[in-house]
């Protein structure tokens, strides 16, 4: 299996957009080597701005640039964009509905050795609760590239979430990309697995395991957390016995709660959530942490069997 970084898909898309549209600008908060936006800087030095370790000022400046007709991509780590610059994201970007794209890397437990201070397991929830904010969590390198292009084309604030590590390339999610439209990767009638971000591969592996046990499994990849594809969620609720959500994020505030809310209000069915269980992470290798915090196919299988049983 091939592994590539989702943040590289973001970086490659930024370079492509730089050639396509002179209004595209990139900003960074002194972590351009880590976010890979330095690759855009190398090709377009006059359209790149290193704002220093000043995430709040970066988002405020991005808002000003958007008001002047530019399309700024403001990049930093997920935890800094949401926790440190949350006020500017809310008041300066989301409230006036400005055309700012917030591209964040180093998200989730797989940030690894940087530990709890840098593992943003809460950021989807923080961004998702902001009115006017679109929240996209791509599953692999290619989908990250497509998502970045889609974000540039739409008008309004977007939160784009990428990881630090290299993750499996999943051909099933390639092709077209439509914001707010989930991708059904497999059809099934016993249980539905809804994934987002890098757990899409784990969801497919879990589905194969369950199918080998004789169960019919639907797999839905939800790359957009907001606006959520409620039609796909309710179709799964009506046509299968229940839903398992899988995300590299806290079970609070992210995909799991979004899906459970839609189901509870419209068509109640069992929902089981795979994610970080309301705890801070710890330092370790990314793959070890995915194991330790139960973000693997066997954990999805276990939750699915509770529904099937």
Query: What's the pLDDT at 240?
Result: 98
Q: What's the average model confidence in pLDDT over 177-200? A: 98
> Residue 19 is inside which H or E element, if any?
helix 6-20
Q: Do residue 274 and residue 147 come from a single domain?
A: no
Same domain, 142 and 9: yes
Q: What confidence score (pLDDT) does residue 228 get?
A: 98
Residue range 16-36: average pLDDT?
Answer: 98
Work out the average pLDDT over 77-100.
98
For residue 114 the two structure tokens come to: 């940087």
Same domain for 157 and 58, yes or no, is: yes
pLDDT tens sequence across 129-141: 999 999 999 999 9
Residue 173 lies in a domain: no
Give domain status of residue 30, yes or no: yes
pLDDT band at 68 (very low <50, low <70, confident <90, very high): very high
Sequence-ordered list of residues with C-beta below 8 angstroms from that of 300, at least 6 positions apart, any chain = 193, 202, 203, 206, 244, 246, 274
Q: Are residues 159 and 270 in the same domain?
A: no
What is the rounded distance in angstroms from the CA atom of residue 111 to the CA atom of residue 255? 19
User: Is residue 175 included in any domain, yes or no?
Assistant: no
CA geometry: angle 244, 194, 295, nearest 5 deg: 65
Report the CATH number that the domain containing residue 210 is assigned in CATH: 3.40.50.920
- Of 168, 192, 227, the one marking the end of a domain is 168
The pLDDT-based confidence of 267 (bands split at 50, 70, 90) is very high
The stretches of 164-254 forming alpha helices (DSSP H) are: 200-212, 230-239
pLDDT value of residue 291? 97
Looking at the fold, whether 41 and 112 belong to one and the same domain comes out as yes
| One domain for residues 154 and 185 | no
Q: How many domains does the chain have?
A: 2
Residues 185 and 267 placed together within one structural domain of the fold: yes
What per-residue confidence (pLDDT) applies to 100? 98
Q: Domain check: are 116 and 191 in the same one?
A: no
Q: How many residues does the chain have?
A: 309
Domain stops at, among 168, 188, 218: 168
Q: Is 192 helix (H, G, I), strand (E, B) or coil?
A: strand
Residues 206, 295: contact at Cβ < 8 Å? no
Q: Are 253 and 124 in contact (CB under 8 A)?
A: yes
For residues 112 and 255, state if they share a domain.
no
Work out the burial of residue 47: count CB atoms within 10 Å of its CB; fewer than 13 is exposed, 13-18 middle, 19 or more buried.
middle
**Sequence-ordered list of residues with C-beta below 8 angstroms from that of 32, at least 6 positions apart, any chain:** 38, 41, 48, 50, 75
**Same domain, residue pair 142 and 225:** no
206-251 residue pLDDT tens: 999 999 999 999 999 999 999 999 999 999 999 999 999 999 999 9
Q: Same structural domain for residues 96 and 144?
A: yes
Tally Cβ neighbours within 10 Å of residue 37.
28
- Rounded distance, CA 198 to CA 169, Å? 9
Pick the catalytic residue from 2, 22, 55, 211. Answer: 55
Q: What is the percent of the chain with per-residue pLDDT over 70, rounded to a whole number?
A: 100
Is the residue at 174 inside a domain?
no
| Residue 219: partners with Cβ closer than 8 Å, 6 or more residues away | 184, 185, 186, 188, 192, 193, 195, 203, 204, 207
User: Dihedral angle at the C-alpha atoms of 149, 155, 159, 162, nearest 10 degrees?
Assistant: 0
> Is 44 a domain residue?
yes
* Residue that is last in its domain, among 113, 145, 168: 168
Confidence of residue 76 (pLDDT cuts 50, 70, 90): very high
CA–CA dist 87, 89 (Å, integer):
5
What is the CA angle 54-22-8, rounded to 5? 60
- CA 180 distance to own-chain centroid: 13
- Say whether both 123 and 265 belong to one domain: no
CATH of the domain at 152: 3.40.50.970
Q: In the annotation, is 55 catalytic?
A: yes
Q: Is residue 104 part of a domain?
A: yes
* Mean of all residue pLDDT scores within the chain: 97
Q: Which of 276, 279, 182 is nearest to 236 (CA)?
A: 182
Residue at 274 is within a domain: yes
- Please answer whether residues 251 and 219 qualify as being in contact, where contact means their C-beta atoms are separated by less than 8 angstroms: no
Domain extent for 61: 3-168
């Amino acid at each position: 299996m091939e592994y590539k970084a989702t943040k590289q898909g973001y970086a490659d898309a930024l370079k492509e957009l730089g050639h396509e549209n002179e209004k595209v600008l990139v900003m960074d908060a002194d972590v351009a080597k880590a976010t890979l936006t330095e690759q855009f800087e190398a090709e377009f030095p006059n359209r790149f701005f290193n704002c220093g370790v000043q995430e709040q000022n970066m988002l405020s400046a991005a808002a000003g640039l958007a008001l002047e007709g530019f399309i700024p991509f403001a990049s930093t780590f997920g935890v800094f964009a949401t926790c440190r610059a949350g006020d500017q994201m809310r008041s300066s970007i989301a409230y006036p509905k400005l055309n700012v794209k917030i591209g964040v890397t180093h998200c989730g437990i797989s940030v690894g050795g940087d530990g709890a201070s840098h593992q943003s397991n809460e950021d989807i929830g923080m961004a998702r609760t902001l009115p006017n904010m679109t929240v996209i969590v791509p599953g692999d390198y290619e989908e990250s590239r497509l998502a970045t292009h889609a974000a540039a084309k739409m008008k309004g604030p977007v939160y784009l979430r990428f990881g630090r590590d290299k993750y499996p390339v999943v051909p099933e999610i390639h092709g077209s990309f439509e914001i707010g439209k989930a991708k059904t990767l497999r059809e099934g009638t016993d249980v539905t697995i809804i994934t987002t971000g890098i757990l899409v591969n784990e969801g497919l592996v879990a589905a194969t395991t369950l199918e080998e046990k004789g169960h019919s499994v639907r797999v839905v990849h939800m790359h957009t957390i907001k606006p959520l594809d409620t039609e796909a969620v309710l179709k799964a609720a009506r046509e299968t016995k229940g839903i398992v959500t899988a995300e590299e994020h806290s079970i609070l505030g992210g995909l799991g709660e979004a899906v459970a809310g839609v189901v509870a209000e419209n068509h109640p069915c069992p929902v089981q959530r795979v994610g970080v269980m309301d705890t801070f992470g710890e330092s370790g290798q990314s793959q070890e942490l995915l194991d330790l915090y139960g973000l693997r196919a066997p954990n999805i299988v276990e939750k699915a069997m509770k529904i099937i049983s």
